[in-house]
Amino acid sequence: MDFKKYFCTVEKNIRPNCIICQSFDISTFTDKTSSGLFVKYADAGNATIIALKNNFLAGDTILHLEHTKCKNIFLFGRCGGFGSTEYGDLIAVDKAYNLESFSKMLNCDKNPEYYRSSKGLLSDFYKKNCRENLMETNSACVGSLALESNFSDWFREKEISAVDMESSIILSAAKRIKRNAVCFMYVTDLVGRGFTTDIGAESLKRKIVASRKKLADMILRFCNEK
């Protein structure tokens, strides 16, 4: 795939820090974007914002960065919380377990590999951002939302507090192209309880929006100070 068609920019324009997010999250960082075939693109100081139009192309997007100036990759995304997490909590992922296959989840395969966020990059991030603002935990990158409740006991065993659909994809692809990568998430729903439809939903939504903005600001500030 031609890089310019994919990203709506050329390789030399990619900054050292790349923030990967979903299409609906890019407005948290900037309102000035360009749209390629599979991603939206924007510059924000020392960072390039890359917004996925389809999360199943997260891995391909990272592989396309191999011959750019990108050194550090940050996943900014939403997730389901599990265990003691609550709506609006901010997550820093240590291990991301690969449950990307729907078929394996359907067959209750509970022996997946995992990929880790870059310890060095995460340590640098904590030097500029209060560790207490984030819950450092493990994630499960799932291929099915309908089947995730079947893995509750396994989630507890593996100390998983975040369930998402990009983390292990991003980390495995970053490892392949030899880049540092860290996954950050904000909790929008809870496994087994769903989205904010109960009493007080509006206040919970405001909490989630505020948490989302706080996390985006933390990441962008770090990228522009690094």
Q: What are the pLDDT digits (tens) for 112-133?
A: 999 999 999 999 999 998 888 8
What is residue 192's predicted lDDT score, i.e. its pLDDT?
77
Assigned CATH topology for domain 76-161+185-215: Rossmann fold (3.40.50)
Mean pLDDT over 73-98 rounds to 96
Mean pLDDT over 71-83 rounds to 97
What is residue 158's predicted lDDT score, i.e. its pLDDT?
97
Residue boundaries of the structural domains of the chain: 1-70, 76-161+185-215
What is residue 60's predicted lDDT score, i.e. its pLDDT?
97
pLDDT-based confidence at 226, cuts 50/70/90? Answer: low
CA atoms within 13 A on the CB side of 148: 29
What is residue 131's predicted lDDT score, i.e. its pLDDT?
84
Burial of 154 (0-12, 13-18, 19+ CB in 10 A): middle
What is residue 132's predicted lDDT score, i.e. its pLDDT?
83
What is residue 202's predicted lDDT score, i.e. its pLDDT?
84
What is residue 200's predicted lDDT score, i.e. its pLDDT?
61
pLDDT-based confidence at 195, cuts 50/70/90? Answer: low
pLDDT > 90 in the chain, percent: 87
CA distances to 7, 37, 112, 169, 182 from 53, rounded to whole Å, are 11, 9, 27, 15, 20
What is residue 6's predicted lDDT score, i.e. its pLDDT?
95
The b/e string for 111-148 (b: 16+ C-beta within 10 A; e otherwise) is: ebebbbbbeebbebbbeebeeeebbebbbbbbbbeebb
Nearest to 92 by CA among 167, 190, 188: 167
CA distance 189 to 192: 9
Nearest to 223 by CA among 43, 41, 21: 43
User: pTM of the entire structure?
Assistant: 0.94
Nearest to 223 by CA among 35, 13, 45, 27: 45
Q: Using the predicted structure, report yes or no on whether residue 203 has a pLDDT greater than 90.
A: no
Q: Using the predicted structure, report yes or no on whether residue 89 has a pLDDT greater than 60.
A: yes
The pLDDT mean for the chain works out to: 93
CA distance 115 to 167: 9
Q: Using the predicted structure, report yes or no on whether residue 198 has a pLDDT greater than 90.
A: no
At 126, list the tokens.
Answer: 């904590």
